[in-house]
Amino acid sequence: MDLTSSQHNRLHNEKRRKLERQAGALVTATDLPELLGNLQHNVLQNTKLKCKHQPCVKELSWGIDLEKNFPRASCHFDYIMAADVVYHHPFLDELLLTFDHLCKNDTVIMWAMKFRLDNENQFVDRFQTLFDLEVISNFPSLNITLYKAMRKGMMKVRPFKLSV
Ligand SMILES: C[S@@+](CC[C@H](N)C(=O)[O-])C[C@H]1O[C@@H](n2cnc3c(N)ncnc32)[C@H](O)[C@@H]1O
């Protein structure tokens, strides 16, 4: 049987994802340093004896010491999950910088955004200067949208189906 190169790539990716599922995910949960105790507690409550690899809890202050704590050369995240990180706080530039630092060309961001105030909502436009966005789900009564995002131009290269 002859395969076109795109069929070959698809098979290769499916095989790789199956192997990855069997290996279990390596998860890093992050927050500000003063909140790590609480985060560690919550992560343990939710994952103890339930997952192959215990998630790593790690300090991340958006925009600060990114290269020191998450060196580009050795850090690779397949997915970044961000929920309700855009609200009335003065670190939106730093948040965007952090997404930019942590995202490789094949990283998929899953981002739940609650729309509140205009100023914060404009973050979506700024985000789109670096990333392509796709709406995965909408909850209009809650003003919440779930987005998938990838670096500009990379969405076509790595199509992705959300299966839950
Ligand atoms: C509204 S909470 C959302 C928490 C959680 N993702 C959820 O959906 O329940 C915002 C989170 O962003 C974190 N955060 C706020 N400012 C931050 C900063 N400058 N650097 C890192 N994390 C920050 C907060 O500590 C908090 O955990």
The reply to whether ligand 1 has any atom less than 6 angstroms from the CB of 62 is yes
What residue type is assigned to position 134 of the chain? E
**Backbone conformation region of residue 143, classed left if phi is above 0, alpha if psi is from -120 to 50, else beta:** left
Q: How far does CA 38 lie from the centroid of its chain?
A: 21
From atom 12 of ligand 1, which residue's Cα is the shortest distance away? 85
| Distance of CA 84 from the midpoint of ligand 1 (Å) | 7
- pTM equals 0.86
What residue type is assigned to position 154 of the chain? M
CA distance 86 to 114: 8
| Distance of CA 69 from the midpoint of ligand 1 (Å) | 18
The reply to whether ligand 1 has any atom less than 6 angstroms from the CB of 35 is yes
pLDDT one-digit tens code per residue, 21-77: 678 899 999 999 999 999 999 999 999 989 999 999 999 999 999 999 999 999 999
Instruction: Count the residues in the chain.
Output: 164
Yes or no: say if 28 and 69 are a contact pair by the CB < 8 Å rule.
no
pLDDT one-digit tens code per residue, 104-139: 999 999 999 999 988 888 999 999 999 999 999 999
pLDDT one-digit tens code per residue, 141-156: 999 999 999 999 999 7
Of the candidates 91, 103, 104, which has an alpha carbon nearest to the alpha carbon of residue 62?
Answer: 91
Phi and psi, residue 157, nearest 5°: -70, -35
Yes or no: say if 33 and 59 are a contact pair by the CB < 8 Å rule.
yes
Q: Which domains does the chain have, with CATH numbers?
A: 1-59 (no CATH), 62-164 (3.40.50.150)
